[in-house]
Amino acid sequence: MSGPAAKTPFLDTLGIRRGDAVAIVGSGGKATLMYRLAGEAVDRGDAVITTSTTHLHPPTSKQTRGFYVTSETPDWPALVPPELKTRRHVTVLGDRPRPDKLKGLDAEELEKLREVCAPDLLLMKADGARARLFKAPGDHEPVVPEGTTRGVVVATVRAVGIQLDERQVHRPERVGRLTGLGQDEPVTPEVIASVVSHPEAYRRAFPDSVPLSLYLSCAGDEESLDLARRIAVAVPDSVFEGVYCGDIARSRAQVVRLA
């Protein structure tokens, strides 16, 4: 692949366009995908805001070009817009309860951010998994804000084979209730497909008018691609606009459509 499209494979394949506000939910690579999309958008010439409605680890200098915490910078509405214009990618979070953990923006702050910055693309981590490889959302999750135009559910093929327990799965009792999987039983591709496509999981958090995609992360070799295909086959046709897989960590990151 060559030319401009080679720089933006994830944006192009997932159909993310200038003007979108994208909520990224699920487990196993939300922040990694968000920053990958942001980098591609900058390459495309967009001005990008990355943020969260839940929690996020502090970004590195490789992940973002500018960083603000609103509780620490009261005049952020005046500072962020010119920073965004110059640097093209700024990350904005709400508070810093711990050095290694940032709190996301509330609805009022997010609305203000969009108003003063008018970014070409808004990317939001809108769910938490407490660093577990797999989860099922609780009743209050994910936190999808008004104005979202597109959603991406993330699940990782690395979750295949892990046991259903609290060490490796966030809200394991919820996974069990949605799928019938028993405590300490192994997670299968079919279990992952069942959770991500369940009507009580992610789709209910998005308006019917908002297209929803499924991205299966860490699928870069034949074995992991086969697992991704098994998940895709088990997902009902009507739930997602498309099912995709890829591996951002590889030296040559690629994403492909499975369904």
pLDDT in the model for residue 6: 54
How many Cβ atoms from other residues are within 10 Å of residue 187's Cβ? 22
CA dihedral (37, 43, 47, 51) in degrees, to 10, reads: 20
Single pTM value for the model: 0.96
Residues 6+ apart with CB under 8 A from 74: none
Pull the structure tokens for residue 133.
Answer: 């490889």
pLDDT in the model for residue 92: 99
Residues 6+ apart with CB under 8 A from 76: 68, 70, 92
pLDDT, mean over the chain: 96
CA dihedral (255, 15, 39, 205) in degrees, to 10, reads: -100
Rounded-to-integer distance, Cα 99 and Cα 101, Å: 6
For the segment 78-129, what is each residue's pLDDT rounded down to a tens digit?
A: 999 999 999 999 999 999 999 999 999 999 999 999 999 999 999 999 999 9
Angle at alpha carbon of residue 165, lines to 159 and 170, rounded to 5°: 65
Rounded-to-integer distance, Cα 159 and Cα 194, Å: 14
Angle separating helix axes 222-234 and 189-197, nearest 10 degrees:
50
CA distances from residue 209 to 85, 149, 241, 248 in whole angstroms, order as listed: 31, 8, 11, 29
Residues of the chain with pLDDT under 50: 1-4
Angle separating helix axes 107-117 and 76-87, nearest 10 degrees:
50
- Closest to 127 (Cα-Cα) out of 165, 170, 65: 170
Rounded-to-integer distance, Cα 191 and Cα 181, Å: 8
pLDDT in the model for residue 249: 87
pLDDT in the model for residue 254: 86
